[in-house]
Amino acid sequence: MNGVSIPFNISKEQQDGAIKQLIDSLVLSGSISDWGISQARVLFKSVPVWKNESHILLSKWEAKFALTTVRATSRSVAAFKEYLEFKFVSNSKSKN
């Protein structure tokens, strides 16, 4: 079973730091999920005729965007790096 644990035999300061790291990772995970949804929305809206569809088959989606494992992976990696650069720049600016 996968999981995260914070040992209780450490100092309160260490526990507080571990809890903060855990919460920060959950926030990052949520923002990555939100980003993925927004990227899918951008692709969906790029095909105007789909606005009248109640759902889009995966095969139709893949055919439209010509996804292959290699192209999708490299495109996703590039987009994710761009997202992280934006996220870190935005966070560093807000802290100043």
Instruction: Confirm whether 2 is domain-assigned.
Output: no
Give a yes or no: residue 3 inside a domain.
no
Would you say residue 6 lies in a domain? no
Choose between 14 and 67: higher pLDDT: 14
Q: Which residue has the higher pLDDT, 39 or 67?
A: 39
In the chain, how many domains are there?
Answer: 1
DSSP state letter for 51: G
Domain that holds residue 36: 12-95
- In angstroms, the CA 79 to CA 85 distance is 10
Residue 9 carries which DSSP code? S
| pTM across the whole model | 0.55
Residue 4 within any structural domain of the chain: no
Domain-located, residue 54 = yes
| pLDDT average, residue stretch 4-13 | 77
Domain contains 27: yes
Residue 74 to residue 44: CA distance in whole angstroms: 20
What pLDDT score does 90 carry? 58
> Residue 1: which pLDDT band, with cuts at 50, 70 and 90?
very low
